[in-house]
Copies of this chain bind each other. A is one copy, B any other.
Amino acid sequence: MAVTVAAGVAPAEESPAVWLDRVGERCLAEAHDFVTARAAEHLSGHREGALAETVIPEFVAGGKCLRPMFAHVGWCCGRPESDAALRAASSLELLHCFALAQDDVMDGSSVRRRRPALHVRFARWHAEQGWSGSATRFGESAATLFGDLFLVWSEQLLRESGLDPETLARGWPVYDLMRAELAVGQLGDLVNDARSLPSWDGLLDVLRRKSGNYTVRRPLEFGAALAGCGPAVLAGLAEYGGLLGEAFQFRDDLLGVFGDPAITGKPAGQDLRDRKASSVIVLAATMTDRGQRTELTNLIELTTVDDAAVSRWRELIVATGARERLGELIRERAEKALAVIDPAVVPRHAAEVLAVLAARCTERDQ
């Protein structure tokens, strides 16, 4: 994957959507090339390296670079585009790879980016070698270790991005906060999963810390902090990011229940099968009438959620009005997010791109 598009200010005729796609492609190329070089440096010549040298860059190449896009838009609120800034933004894609690799182990998710999850691929490889010991355990350990490497490589790509130390110094506090929130948020998720059902407020708290902040707000703040944006810009981006991050996660949760497997690449009703206490479930629980309450309790108590149970779950959620209501909450938040972007402080091009991103995050099918 070669970097083929030149940096620079977007030409006047380029639409915000086209500009965004170009940024995403370049960030993906940066992340992919960095990981390919690191994998060759550390893994080639080792027996266990042969597989990883293929699988690990492939895994990176499957990303959508949403977080780098937000980071780069944040940067563009204060400074002109540059290769170094794009590389710095790309580091967030590797941070995301870290989270995906390890979360899939913890959540027991077997599919990621339309392929078997990393731990599944490494487990299969172990089994194919005919070795003794648990292939499952090996797969989980290998995926965790490559997650660690993604975490290291993310920070290394940022540090080696070409931004000078003074510029980098403005970004580290947000970057460190993002990494800590990600781990602490995942811990909160595990605790939430372990309880029967969290309250709506408890769920929103974890959701904000984990997905909301991590997907939109912190990447924007990170880019803007690197660019040295002032408090007015930072405050606007933070508010936009908080609102849109929640909308993004609500949309994700709707797709986890109602998404089309042919489009999402995941089994139908995956979150239901995983018995995940997601926003749509928790909202449905708060909206049940007395009759629905019994059905809800029955469904929650199921230890295995099969196709029939997925259908019952979906019918119940629709009947409570939670699907409809969550759609409204998504639209409300996206609208509010756009309304807080003050054209007096955010550059016009950046504001246009933020509008495109808001639509993409809330109307997506995958």
| Interface residues in A172-202 (C-beta closer than 8 Å to B) | 172, 176, 179-181, 183-184, 186-188, 190-191, 193-196
Residue of B nearest to A184 (CB): B42
Also in contact, A180 and B194, with CB within 8 A (given A165-B165, A187-B142, A187-B145): no
Is A260 in the interface zone, CB < 8 Å from B?
Answer: no
Given contacts A152-B151, A159-B172, contact A180 B46 (CB under 8 A): no
- B102, B141, B179, B194: which contacts A190 (Cβ < 8 A)? B141
**What residues of chain B lie closer than 8 Å to A193, measured between beta carbons?**
133
The interface centre, meaning the residue of A41, A141, A181 with most chain B CB atoms within 10 A of its CB, is A141
Question: A48 contacts the other chain (Cβ, under 8 Å)?
Answer: yes
On whether the beta carbons of B194 and A43 are closer than 8 Å, the reply is: no
Known A102-B144, A144-B144, A194-B132; contact A188-B152, beta-carbon cutoff 8 A: no
Residues of chain B contacted by A138 (CB below 8 angstroms):
190, 194
Partner of A191, one of B47, B151, B155, B159: B47
Tell me the count of chain A residues lying within 8 A, CB to CB, of chain B.
49
Residues of B within 8 A of A152 (CB): 151, 176, 179-180, 183
Chain B contacts of A3 at CB under 8 A? none
Query: A25: shortest Cβ distance to chain B, in Å?
Result: 27
Q: Is the CB of B183 within 8 A of A148?
A: yes
* Complex partner residue of A183 from B149, B156, B159, B187, CB under 8 angstroms: B149
Identity of the chain B residue whose Cβ is nearest the Cβ of A98 in the assembled complex: B148
How far apart sit A241 and B172, CA to CA, in the bound complex (Å)? 33
CA distance A137 to B136 in the complex (A): 13
Which residue of the partner chain B has the closest CB to A149?
B183
Q: In the complex, what distance in Å separates the CA atom of A183 from the CA atom of B193?
A: 29
Q: Is A106 an interface residue (CB 8 A)?
A: yes
Chain B residues, CB < 8 A from A132:
194-196
Interface residues of A (CB under 8 A from B): 38, 41-43, 46-49, 98, 102, 105-106, 126, 129, 131-133, 137-138, 141-142, 144-149, 151-152, 155-156, 159, 165, 172, 176, 179-181, 183-184, 186-188, 190-191, 193-196
Q: List 16 A-B contacts (CB under 8 A).
A: A42-B181, A98-B148, A102-B144, A105-B144, A131-B194, A132-B196, A133-B193, A133-B194, A138-B194, A141-B187, A142-B187, A145-B186, A145-B187, A147-B148, A152-B176, A152-B179
